[in-house]
Amino acid sequence: MPCLLSASLPPSLKRKALPALLLGCCVAQPLFAQTAAPAAPPERPRNRAPSPASGSGAPAPGTLPTAAPAQTTADATAAGTRSGTADPEPQAGAADDMATVEVVASRPTNKVDRDVYDLKNDISVSNASAADILNNVPSVSVDQDGTVALRGNQNVQIMVNGKRDAQFQGQNRGDALNAFPAENIESIEVINVPGAEFGNEGGSGPIINLVLKRNRKPGSRASLSANKGTEDRYNGFLNGEYAAGPYSISGNLGVRKALRSGHSESQREDLDPQTGSAIGATNSASERRSPSTSVNFASTLTYNVGERDQAGATLSFSKTQNDSESTGSTRRFGPGMLPAADYSTRSTSSSPAQNFGLGASYVHKSGEPGEELKFDLRYTGQTNDADADVFYDYRLAPLRYATDNRRTTDRRNRIVDLSLDYQRTVWSTWLLKAGAKVADSRNANGTDYLAVNPASGNYEPVASRISDFRSDDRNAAVYGILSTRFFKDLQVQAGIRGEYTELKIRQPLLAEEDHYTYLNWLPSFYATQGLGEHGGELQLRASRRIARPNERDLNPNLVYLSDFYARQGNPNLEPVDNDSYELAYRDNFFSVDTSVTLYKRRESPVIGNRSTLLASDPNVIVTTPINFGANDSTGIELNVNARRLFVQGLSANLGTTIGNETRMRLFNFSDNVSVEQKNHRENVRLRLAYQFDAESLQLSVNRNGQSLNGQGVNGATTMTNFTWQHRFSPRLSLNLNVNNVFGAGNTDSYVENEVLRLHSLSTTQARIFTLGLRYQWGGVTGDERIRNGGRGMFRGGPGGRNGGGGGFGNGSGGGNSGGGGGFGG
């Protein structure tokens, strides 16, 4: 490593810088990274595009040299919005001018349409899954089953590198998130107000984009982590990359064995819809134990074709085995609360899943200012089968009772996604982005059901519980975006997206086929106004999205989820408009990065659920979707990052979301009578990081307030996690993770309507201890930002990933140049 202390520095400044430099080279990076700060911070440059790639000398291996055209206002727009974290233009000898090094809490990069959260300084990553690490992202919550919510909204799309991935679609998304290794993720992009470049195939809600690690530096590097947890849990991850000449290849392999266990209980009252009095009741309790094992593999290859083109290919595969065993007991009461049934159940299930992904891309840079053409083809798929057996032991059998049964489900999902994106500078000061996409998503969902015939004692098919449902969702889209700067500090971006969707649904067992078509035009608008001399900004985001009914909501068949719960779709559902708005103010006060965001979301007409008792079997609750009314959510979000809290090495991040939710639900026996549900929601998230000598400590506390569910509310939960890292050397570290430190996090839910009153309690698994080692080979250790004199400190700054103005690989600006978009189609 080159020396960062210039002989020209005064001795006092050397004494201040030397301890921190040694600390950064010899111990792990804390949650909030070490960064270099100049002795006299220069005024932040304003309205400047990133510097072009250096043209001196031979290009580094794996780096594609590009022309360095004159910068224009459109180029500056392409670089993305002012984030308040961009660095000054690097000058000659910038490293020599460095005077002090201090621990700071780096706030996320705020692009024009998204917020980016970097994971490289989170010391819990080596032992975490994607679900675990998402819980560390402001506004995001993930429960123990992998259900994701953003500001309380569960209608969230999960993308990988800006594209849909079959493994994160549908009912098994939670299992995929719990199995996906966090070590494979470089950053997480939260897009609360998606723009014109993002499609609506997976829903109209906000987007969480998982940006995977990619090789950008010449040479070879590798890392290996191995962790062992309580109750036979373990995981391991191997990552390697190599770049030389025009080639670059990277790959990773991960294995994981996990265990989820818990206790659940419920008390249900059946109500007389005329009087509201209880006419029956059911009390149940169960214990569940669900082990799972998974293997993940992924690889990426890039090749620089000539001086301005780059070709790429990706391959991924994962295999997961989910098993479950549970035991339970149930007691039912009839009119007058007289005993009606008393029985025990034992169930087992086995659910293997396989996911794959293939991708090809090509990027051409013409050498003209801002001009770039991108081609991307993805093919992803998921296969998920499940076999479940349920056995009953009756002490008091009801008049109608379920017998031992076996349910088999076969799910298939295949997605083909082809996109073309183009951008260039027009009218000297404007940046035009345009693109087109075609996609095809095919799903098959079949269920077989066998039950014991009491007369013969044999398993026989039950026709009413057997179904086969298939869908083909085809989508074609075009979009256009114009962005520029006005006056001095005002950046604007406006876009429009047109989508044509054709959905075909087949029910082979009934010989029925339905056909749906939709045409939608969806606008978006963003504006950022710079304020003051220290990087403050005011940002407006607004967009309209569309949620088209999915195949599960449209399926008119009665599909049994268990012996006592079923779902029946509605083929007459209409799409839902989703309008989202944000107004954010960001600034730095007394070395504390602060952001305040006002938000509003409105969905209309809502696709809600109505629950009734099955006419032929009152023991079965049937849920049916229906259009009605509107949902509104308004609130304020506050995030504070303290660079230094009280003592050297201690930093903190505090985030809170306070919101009011209003939802409408229909009266269960009438489409003309609605009931308004209201909820006040408060979420708080605290993260503390402390570094001293060879030790790094990290504590996170997540408090998720009460939220609305379909016809009731979910209670508040609190979860605390702790991580300790000891650095034996710059390459070898020891990690200790403690999940659910206080054994809290139990979940209550309450549902009440005209026909039933239900209270459910689920207890989370006890605290989990995990101990592991991580070792790195090759590359350069220590804090890269210190080695580079503080340059490239944040995303979007000179030398950062989204700097623009550079070529591929390791030139200034890196890949994904261009602001706000990054992904097309």
Percent of the chain exceeding pLDDT 70 equals 79
The answer as to whether 302 is a domain residue is yes
Pairing of strands 650-666, 372-396: unpaired
* Domain coverage including residue 171: 115-212
Give the end of a domain, one of 169, 188, 212. Answer: 212
Ranges of beta strands (E only) in 397-508 are 405-426, 430-452, 459-461, 467-486, 490-507
Return the pLDDT at 819.
37
pLDDT tens column, 491-511: 999 999 999 999 998 888 888
Alpha carbon of residue 655 to chain centroid: 18
Count, residues in the chain: 825
Mark whether 129 and 245 lie in a shared domain: no
Pairing of strands 157-160, 207-212: parallel
Residue 12 has pLDDT above 50, yes or no: no
Residue 29 has pLDDT above 60, yes or no: no
Mean pLDDT of the 102-130 span: 71
**CB-count exposure of residue 625 (10 Å: 0-12, 13-18, 19+):** buried
Mean pLDDT of the 336-358 span: 94
State whether residue 631 is helix, strand or coil.
strand
Cis bond leading into 42, ω under 30°?
no
CA distance 269 to 281: 4
Alpha carbon of residue 699 to chain centroid: 21
Mark whether 653 and 711 lie in a shared domain: yes
Nearest to 280 by CA among 344, 343, 341, 336: 336
Which of 175-189, 392-406, 611-625 is predicted least confidently?
Answer: 611-625
Here the tokens at position 51 are 């510097």
Mark whether 584 and 733 lie in a shared domain: yes
Bridge partners of 680, per DSSP, are 660
Mean pLDDT of the 4-26 span: 37
DSSP classification of residue 64: B
Mark whether 223 and 184 lie in a shared domain: no
The answer as to whether 28 is a domain residue is no
Is pLDDT larger for residue 538 or for residue 819? 538
State whether residue 797 is helix, strand or coil.
coil
Return the pLDDT at 796.
33
Is pLDDT larger for residue 347 or for residue 74? 347
CATH of the domain at 520: 2.40.170.20
Mean pLDDT of the 715-741 span: 92
CA distances (Å), 152 to each of 555, 598, 659, in order? 27, 15, 9
Mark whether 201 and 260 lie in a shared domain: no
CA distances (Å), 33 to each of 243, 435, 649, 650, 691, in order? 26, 37, 10, 11, 10
pLDDT tens column, 564-575: 788 888 888 888
Q: How many CB atoms lie within 10 A of CB 720?
A: 19
pLDDT tens column, 610-662: 777 787 777 788 888 888 778 899 999 999 988 888 888 999 999 999 999 98
The pTM of the whole model exceeds 0.85: no
CA distance 283 to 326: 17
State whether residue 179 is helix, strand or coil.
helix
591 pLDDT band (50/70/90 cuts)? confident
Q: How many CB atoms lie within 10 A of CB 261?
A: 17
Q: Tokens 């090094």 — which residue? A: 101
617-628 β-sheet, strand order: 558-560, 565-568, 617-628, 606-614
Pairing of strands 565-568, 617-628: parallel
Residue 412 has pLDDT above 90, yes or no: yes
- The answer to whether the CB of 223 falls within 8 A of the CB of 775 is yes
Mark whether 291 and 172 lie in a shared domain: no
Give the end of a domain, one of 197, 212, 227. Answer: 212
672 pLDDT band (50/70/90 cuts)? low
Which residues, in sequence order, are CB contacts of 541 under 8 Å at separation 6+? 113, 192, 193, 525, 526, 580, 581, 582, 583, 584
Mark whether 753 and 667 lie in a shared domain: yes
Which of 93-97, 269-273, 459-463, 536-540 is predicted least confidently?
Answer: 93-97
Domain count, the chain: 2
Return the pLDDT at 677.
84
Here the tokens at position 421 are 């994106």
Cα within 13 Å of Cα(309), Cβ side: 7
CA distances (Å), 14 to each of 10, 20, 40, 728, in order? 6, 10, 15, 26
CA distance 714 to 95: 53
Mark whether 161 and 224 lie in a shared domain: no
DSSP classification of residue 569: -
| Range 519-522 contact pairs with CB under 8 angstroms and sequence separation of 24 or more | 520/200, 520/546, 520/575, 521/496, 521/497, 522/196, 522/200, 522/496, 522/497, 522/498, 522/546
Q: How many CB atoms lie within 10 A of CB 252?
A: 22
Bridge partners of 82, per DSSP, are none
The answer as to whether 24 is a domain residue is no
Mark whether 344 and 371 lie in a shared domain: yes
Mark whether 412 and 463 lie in a shared domain: yes
Which residues, in sequence order, are CB contacts of 61 under 8 Å at separation 6+? 218, 219, 243, 244, 245
For 99-144, give the DSSP string: EEEEE--PPPEE-SS-EEEE-TT-TTGGG-BHHHHHTTSTTEEE-T
Residue 313 has pLDDT above 70, yes or no: yes
pLDDT tens column, 119-153: 877 888 877 888 888 888 888 888 766 778 888 77
Element (H, E) at 158: strand 157-160
Mark whether 167 and 136 lie in a shared domain: yes
Terminal alpha carbon distance of the chain: 42
Q: How many CB atoms lie within 10 A of CB 503?
A: 20
Letter string b/e over residues 186-214, b meaning 16 or more CB atoms within 10 A of that residue's CB: ebbbbbbbbbbbbbbbbbbbbbbbbbbbb
CA distance 119 to 186: 6
Here the tokens at position 42 are 């220069």
Q: What is the largest CA-CA distance in the chain?
A: 96
Q: How many CB atoms lie within 10 A of CB 113?
A: 30
Give the end of a domain, one of 212, 228, 246. Answer: 212
336 pLDDT band (50/70/90 cuts)? confident
CATH of the domain at 175: 2.170.130.10
H helix count then E strand count, the chain: 6, 41
667 pLDDT band (50/70/90 cuts)? low
Nearest to 662 by CA among 608, 724, 702, 610: 608
- The answer to whether the CB of 459 falls within 8 A of the CB of 451 is yes
One-letter amino acid at 625 equals P
Return the pLDDT at 75.
43
Here the tokens at position 463 are 């026709």
Here the tokens at position 737 are 């993770």
Return the pLDDT at 798.
31
Mark whether 263 and 144 lie in a shared domain: no
- The answer to whether the CB of 664 falls within 8 A of the CB of 607 is no
Residue 65 has pLDDT above 90, yes or no: no
Nearest to 628 by CA among 595, 673, 598, 690: 673
The answer as to whether 90 is a domain residue is no
Ranges 59-63, 601-605, 720-724, most confident: 720-724
The answer as to whether 579 is a domain residue is yes
Return the pLDDT at 28.
33
Average pLDDT, the chain: 79
Q: Tokens 């303290």 — which residue? A: 642
